[in-house]
């Protein structure tokens, strides 16, 4: 199968601006108000401008949400029915390899890397921290089979719980930074060891459509408790953003690192859409950390 390295060049972004018929994707590309790595932005816009995003997603999303509601009823009555995390992850890894666009798969694999680096930065720079971590760095889709989606959710909960237990034991009630910030764990060139991704005839489903299709599948093969915890994890974007704002002393720059109030968890049917927000929030936080790292290096020189 044909494979491509990411991000691919999106030629439409280089076309001359037409005031009479502006390209929405080109406008988003030219706008730099949102902190995000340029390769990620290009891959996101490329993936968002596919026919599946335009024509398939509007049909998939309502059907997926209805399925989630129906499964919620079934799982309430039979919470452990048809549960298997290994089967779930094998299905997801195989289906992504066959049907998802290269951009979608690259962004999914990259998400584990930046998520691990974001948490590692907080762990190294919050005064009194230094808790056990479990970094996830998949290089290709088969690596997902090792329960990586579940482990990613657990990492968020475990980091916040372990951090606050340790701070409480030290009598520390407020998040504050160490005197000198350590950026050594932040990859600032956007280059992660991710393998080229499949670009066959069937690799046409964009990231957002994939997420909406797979969310009910995710729910089906997890216990009701595991699925609810996964949904709850999306609300922790705000918590991580607050921690980072206190460490960097930069609350204004983290306004987009959110997924609404962490103590108000929306209904499960919206999980797919909020998972997309979670991915972008993580990318924006990582981009902010990259900017801070570069500024720190410039000050040293």
What count of Cα atoms within 13 Å lies in the side-chain half-sphere of residue 249? 6
* 12's tokens: 């439409």
Nearest 5°: CA angle at 129, between 229 and 124? 100
pLDDT for 157 beyond 80: yes
CA distances from 169 to 35, 67, 159, 172, 246 (A): 36, 44, 15, 8, 20
The per-residue pLDDT for range 44-85, each reduced to its tens digit, is 999 999 999 999 999 999 999 999 999 988 888 887 778 999
- Give the global pTM: 0.95
- Of 66-80, 212-226, 252-266, the poorest mean pLDDT is in 252-266
* Mean pLDDT, residues 192-208: 96
pLDDT for 161 beyond 90: yes
The per-residue pLDDT for range 141-154, each reduced to its tens digit, is 999 999 999 999 99
DSSP tag of 22: -
Contact 105, 97 (CB under 8 A): yes
């Amino acid at each position: 199968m044909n494979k491509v390295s990411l991000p691919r060049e999106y030629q439409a972004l280089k076309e001359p601006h037409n005031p009479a018929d502006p390209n929405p994707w080109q406008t988003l590309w030219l706008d730099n108000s949102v902190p995000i790595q340029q390769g990620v932005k290009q891959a996101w816009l490329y993936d968002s401008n596919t026919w599946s995003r335009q024509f398939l997603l509007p049909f998939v999303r309502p059907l997926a949400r209805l399925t989630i509601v129906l499964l919620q009823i079934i799982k309430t009555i039979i919470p452990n029915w048809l549960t298997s995390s290994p089967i779930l992850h094998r299905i997801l890894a195989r289906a992504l390899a066959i049907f998802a666009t290269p951009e979608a798969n690259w962004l999914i694999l990259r998400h584990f890397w930046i998520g691990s680096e974001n948490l590692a930065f907080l762990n190294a720079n919050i005064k009194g921290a230094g808790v056990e971590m479990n970094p996830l760095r998949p290089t290709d889709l088969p690596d997902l089979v090792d329960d990586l989606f579940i482990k990613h959710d657990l990492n968020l909960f475990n980091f916040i719980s372990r951090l606050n237990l340790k701070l409480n034991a030290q009598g520390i009630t407020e998040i504050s930074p160490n005197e000198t910030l350590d950026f050594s764990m932040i990859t600032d060139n956007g280059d992660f060891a991710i393998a080229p991704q499949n670009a066959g005839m069937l690799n046409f489903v964009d990231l957002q459509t994939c997420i909406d299709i797979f969310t009910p599948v995710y729910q089906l093969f997890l216990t009701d408790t595991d699925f609810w915890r996964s949904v709850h994890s999306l609300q922790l974007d705000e918590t991580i953003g607050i921690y980072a704002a206190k460490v960097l002393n930069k609350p204004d720059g983290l306004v987009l690192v959110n997924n609404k109030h962490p103590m108000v968890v929306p209904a499960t049917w919206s999980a797919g859409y909020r998972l997309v927000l979670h991915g972008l929030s993580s990318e924006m936080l990582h981009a902010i950390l990259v900017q801070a790292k570069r500024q720190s290096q410039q000050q040293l020189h």
